[in-house]
Amino acid sequence: MRRAAAAGGADGEGPGGGASPYRGARRFLRALPPLLILGGVVYDVATPPTYSAAPLYSAAPLIAAPFFSTLTTLLTGLAAVLASIGLHFYNGTADTIPALTEVLTVVTVSALAVLINRVARRSGQRLASARVIAETAQKAVLPTPPERIGGLQIAARYEAAQADAFIGGDLFAVQDTPHGVRLVVGDVRGKGLDAVEAVAVIIGAFREAAEQESTLEGVAARLERALAREGARRAGLDAFEGFTTAVLAEIPGGDRVVRVVNRGHPEPLLLHADGGVEPLRPSEAALPLGMGDLGGGPDRADVTPYPQGATLLFHTDGLSEARDAAGVFYDPAERLAGRIFPGPDELLDALVADVRRHTDGGTTDDMALLAVSRRAAGQPERRRTMPVVPPDGAGRSGRRPSRRDLRAGGDRP
């Protein structure tokens, strides 16, 4: 998760502090004020008195204003004024009208630069406060799951499409229950506070239902009813058009399977230990949550073998609908095929970096990612510091039983 930047950082940092993707350009801009003053002095000394470097002296405090503290901006303006006055005395033009006009111009611009600095820093402080509030709200509505739940390794990411955004309509939650580890990943229709409110409703209903319902289908039905109540409470179009695509999963403690109920959501991926990728396509199409009144049969969980060493990847459509400059969608199954990762954290780190390369940093939708790994027998617990293992090119050997095979013998193998 992103962390809010502290307001008004040290001297030499812009209001709001924090790193920038244009760090090199910012460093160059910070070095410009003294270079401009020095360049103005050299220009005035090397040229006849009729030429003036007043524009360079005026530009120095203006450039310092957004990048330096108020004191440094003030000192930069003072240095520019003194340089202008000193050069006029050096040239013997201090008592002329043009010289007084130039000095007055530099003084006025320096005063404006200090004012701009104060306004920018106050705006930066308010922005930093808003970031802290947003991050606090995210932690309350969408808390980061623990690294280990029920013997499984968990990793989660929320990548907002808009810079400095923290919360939106994508959601995930993982919970250890008497019925096994249960999780939900979803995407609420719409944006803004209404979407965040719906996220809070869904996650609250999921945490209660995951503990109480004996089946995953029962959990889905509880979420459907919760959204129906929320839709009836709201006014306007949300009462008729509000819906949430979601995928629910259950990993029983004693069985090496995963049960999945998919309600109109992008299909999860099962990444096998040998680099194979298996999309968990639903056996029957189903409408998103909140659209149950439009018809459709009861939910039915699909059952898939979940062997040791495998990883489940759940995601929202911000991943599968990310496009490159040519409009080509990102295909996570294709991009991950043949690759092996030490753990779920490394998988998500590599996935986020790959999406950024694919889109050239131009994603247009939020992206929620959740990876759940079942550690292989005898495999030591991996840490984030370990590098990603490169593709080994190994193919998958042998035939794994399908969901149809499992259902032929009952839901539990």
Residue 173: phi and psi, rounded to 5, are -160, 145
Per the DSSP assignment, residues forming a β-bridge with 247 are: 185, 262
What is 143-408's CATH superfamily?
Answer: PPM-type phosphatase domain (3.60.40.10)
Burial-class residue 393 by CB neighbours within 10 Å (0-12, 13-18, 19+).
exposed
How far apart CA 64 and CA 69 sit, in angstroms, is: 8
**83 backbone φψ class: left, alpha, beta (φ>0; ψ -120 to 50):** alpha
Q: How far is C-alpha 298 from the geometric centre of its chain's CA atoms?
A: 35
pTM of the model: 0.62
pLDDT of residue 15: 39
Residues 6+ apart with CB under 8 A from 309: 272, 273, 374, 375, 376, 379
DSSP classification of residue 271? E
The tokens for 313 are: 């990847």
Residue range 143-189, pLDDT digits in tens: 788 999 988 999 999 887 655 555 667 889 999 999 999 999 999 87
Q: Which segment, 52-56, 384-388, 392-396, is predicted with the most confidence on average? A: 52-56
Mean pLDDT: which of 119-133, 313-327, 388-402 is highest? 313-327
Q: Which of 87, 41, 45 is nearest to 60 (CA)?
A: 41
How do the domains of the chain map onto residue ranges? 23-136, 143-408
The pLDDT of residue 307 is 93
Give the per-residue pLDDT at 100: 87
Place of tokens 């909140």: 290
224-259: pLDDT as tens digits: 988 888 777 765 444 445 688 999 999 998 788 999
Residue 132 has what pLDDT?
Answer: 65
Cβ burial 68-99 (10 Å sphere, 16+ → b, else e): bbbebbbbbbebbbebbbebbeebebeeeeeb
Mean pLDDT lowest for which of 130-139, 146-155, 293-302? 130-139
Pair 261, 299: CB distance under 8 Å: yes
CA distances from residue 246 to 123, 183, 374, 396 in whole angstroms, order as listed: 38, 10, 22, 30
Angle between the N-to-C axes of helices 70-91 and 23-46, in degrees from 0 to 180, rounded to the nearest 10: 20
Beta strand 367-373 pairing with 311-315: antiparallel
Report how far apart, in Å, the C-alpha atoms of 377 and of each of 309, 337, 363 are: 8, 23, 38
pLDDT of residue 165: 53
Rounded-to-integer distance, Cα 318 and Cα 189, Å: 13
The Cβ-side half-sphere exposure at 136, using a 13 Å CA radius, reads 6
Q: Which 8-state DSSP code applies to residue 402?
A: P
Q: What separation in angstroms does the CA of 256 have from each of 64, 251, 374? A: 62, 8, 9
DSSP summary character for residue 289: B
Selected residue with higher pLDDT from 99 and 305:
305
Secondary structure letter of residue 17 according to DSSP: -
Q: What is the band of 23 on the pLDDT scale with cuts at 50, 70, 90? A: low
